[in-house]
Amino acid sequence: MKLETLAIVGVGLIGGSIGQAARERGVASHVIGIGRRLETLQDARALGAIDSYALDLARGVAGAELVVFATPVHMIARQVLEAAPACRAGTILTDAGSTKVRILQDLSGRLPQAVHFVGSHPLAGSEKRGPQHASAQLFVDRLTIVTPTPATQPEAVAKVTWFWQALGSRVQAMPAADHDRVLAFTSHLPHLVASALAGCLPGGLDPFTAAGFRDTTRVAAGDPALWASILSQNRESILAALDNLSGRLDRFRESLRENDVPRMEELLQEGKKNRDALDR
Amino acid sequence: MKLETLAIVGVGLIGGSIGQAARERGVASHVIGIGRRLETLQDARALGAIDSYALDLARGVAGAELVVFATPVHMIARQVLEAAPACRAGTILTDAGSTKVRILQDLSGRLPQAVHFVGSHPLAGSEKRGPQHASAQLFVDRLTIVTPTPATQPEAVAKVTWFWQALGSRVQAMPAADHDRVLAFTSHLPHLVASALAGCLPGGLDPFTAAGFRDTTRVAAGDPALWASILSQNRESILAALDNLSGRLDRFRESLRENDVPRMEELLQEGKKNRDALDR
């Protein structure tokens, strides 16, 4: 199987990586990039991420079999609704957004019959931005979650599943609500916490940070606008995860106040057990 | 300058790295390792970290010019007090512990006149344990903080400073209380938070973690007993840093409840600004 034309809306780190992987792996005969900034599109072409580009969304998607939206989550539903009427019958639309429920809600019942949207989220990325940080290997051995609804056409799910697998990813389907609850714990809360830790570092202490601080806060270098939009779209699940974390911080606080060393060790042991399991 | 005999009490990752670096760089003619487990001492010798070893603390330190204590922080003062009477006049004692105030308090006025203790903390380490993870390069281009008091002999401070520099480290002196306040923010609180984040990951979500979660929680794999002892020894400063973090988490919580996206972006921008500064 090979796509004739793949369209990628947004050719930053994720969109650029999709393009590079699709071209290197022969997943599509032609890759067109669509964006608002000419310079980024030119960079993406120079970097081998796309074959051609368009500044106009409707024109860019007109000839595509598959369109992937790799733009900030608050823009995806709006762009899908704008692009859909310009698509050929049978075109499949998907995305790479870090939240799913809100996007599906915003699309529900509003798409033309002849096009099919399947939500996707490749669990891959970086705190870096732009096609110059793209990599054809970004999705290899990573997991992509797809979030079909009962109304989603099975052929569209199969094609989107094939697509991410063809880029090197594993694929798992789950309901969008499950996705958002899971990602609140595995990605959105850690981002918020890393940012809060970095944000409360008093001035002048930079020279006294070592690998531990740098690792723990690395993701805080991510783009604030992109992440504010993710936090906002998944705020209920993130608030629930944050309450859970705060409860655990309160237990640490209590053990410190009472100088209860066995309790501290027990709490640390629980964290270690979960963390060690990830490397097994 | 070269030491005749360097004694290292505790030949785990830190003690083993000190030994390897000292031997490779010709900092000492003879390195003796002191520990309670024969197997670890034999491993350390096999790994080139020490030339000889002793299970008895008093016997091990008897011939040393410089003794470094690289044991868990709650053991250091006790071991220093036990070793000191067995040392030759003029022996200098130092440590590699992550807390400083409590150790100095426990030693204050209790050491023989003829030996000199200078607190040290090399800002280098790993979540791993044991001499098999030691590295002669561990201290290269890292910072070691030394914490002399007004009563500390200047020659002892100079010799300890020379020692860490000879292992490849930069050295900065500061009062122990400043050290503990600084490290609460740059190391102890991040450890506690990474552990709490890992600890509150619901069961079954491991497959949905990616690089962000793994980096943010990496240090949570550290040894719970070692870290409980650090948290306990610096609990006042850590509680103050934790209050600061909780305040920032509350501001995030408020912005999520009110869906105040500009406020979220502003908070994330503050974190990014601090994090970006570390890579400059």
- Are B265 and A219 an interchain contact pair (Cβ–Cβ within 8 Å)? no
Residues 6+ apart with CB under 8 A from B37: none
Residue B128's pLDDT is 84
CA distance B259 to chain A (A): 6
The CA distances from residue B192 to A58, A196, B149, B157, B272, in Å, are 50, 14, 29, 32, 21
| B20 shares contact with chain A (CB less than 8 Å) | no
CA distance B188 to chain A (A): 9
Torsion angle defined by CA atoms of residues B34, B36, B37 and B43, in that order, rounded to the nearest 10 degrees: -10
Instruction: Give the one of A123, A217, A270 whose C-beta lies nearest to B199's C-beta.
Output: A270
CA distance A271 to B199: 4
Give pLDDT < 50 ranges for chain A: none
Residue A1's pLDDT is 86
CA distance B184 to B180: 6
Nearest CA in chain B to A276: B221
Nearest CA in chain A to B201: A185
B74 is written with which tokens? 């709650």
CA distance B215 to chain A (A): 5
Alpha carbon B168 to chain centroid, angstroms = 16
- Chain B residues within an 8 Å CB radius of A248: 196, 199-200
CA distance A5 to B169: 56
Nearest CA in chain B to A261: B228
Residue A41's pLDDT is 97
pLDDT in tens, A199-253: 999 999 999 999 999 999 999 999 999 999 999 999 999 999 999 999 999 999 9
CA distance B226 to B129: 10
pLDDT in tens, A170-183: 999 999 999 999 99
Q: What is the DSSP string of chain B?
A: --EEEEEEE--SHHHHHHHHHHHHTT-EEEEEEE-S-HHHHHHHHHTTS-SEEES-HHHHHTT-SEEEE-S-HHHHHHHHHHHGGGSPTT-EEEE--S--HHHHHHHTT-S-TT-EEE-EEES---S--SGGG--TTTTTT-EEEE---TTS-HHHHHHHHHHHHHTT-EEEE--HHHHHHHHIIIIIHHHHHHHHHHHTPPTT-GGG--HHHHHHHGGGGS-HHHHHHHHHHTHHHHHHHHHHHHHHHHHHHHHHHTT-HHHHHHHHHHHHHHHHHHT-
Residues 152-211 of A with CB under 8 A from B: 172, 182-183, 185-187, 189-202, 205-211
CA distance B228 to chain A (A): 5
**Per-10-residue mean pLDDT, chain B, length 280:** 96 97 98 97 97 98 97 97 98 98 97 97 88 95 97 97 98 98 98 98 96 96 96 98 98 98 98 95
CA distance B196 to A104: 32
CA distance A46 to A279: 37
CA distance A213 to A211: 6
CA distance B260 to B269: 14
Site of tokens 């997991």: A143
Nearest CA in chain B to A184: B201
- Mutation target for B interface from A127, A208, A233, A244: give the one with most B CBs within 10 A: A208
| B128 shares contact with chain A (CB less than 8 Å) | no
- Chain B residues within an 8 Å CB radius of A270: 195, 199
Residues 6+ apart with CB under 8 A from A144: A120, A121, A122, A123, A164, A169, A170, A171, A172
Among the listed residues B248, B195, B196, B189, the one whose alpha carbon sits nearest the alpha carbon of residue B223: B195
What radius of gyration, in Å, describes the C-alpha atoms of chain A?
A: 21
What radius of gyration, in Å, describes the C-alpha atoms of chain B?
A: 21
- Chain A residues within an 8 Å CB radius of B176: none
CA distance A61 to chain B (A): 30
Q: What is the DSSP string of B130-161?
A: SGGG--TTTTTT-EEEE---TTS-HHHHHHHH
Alpha helix segments (H runs only) across A154-210: 154-166, 176-183, 189-199
- Are B193 and A257 an interchain contact pair (Cβ–Cβ within 8 Å)? no
Q: What SS3 class is residue A33?
A: strand
B52 is written with which tokens? 């000889």
Among the listed residues A14, A10, A149, the one whose alpha carbon sits nearest the alpha carbon of residue A78: A10
Residue B51's pLDDT is 98
pTM score, whole prediction? 0.94
Instruction: Give the one of A249, A277, A279 whose C-beta lies nearest to B242's C-beta.
Output: A249
CA distance B60 to A51: 70
| A278 shares contact with chain B (CB less than 8 Å) | yes
Residues 61-120 of A with CB under 8 A from B: none
Q: Please, are residues A72 and A19 in contact by the beta-carbon 8 Å criterion?
A: no
Instruction: Give the one of B216, B228, B267 whose C-beta lies nearest to A264's C-beta.
Output: B228
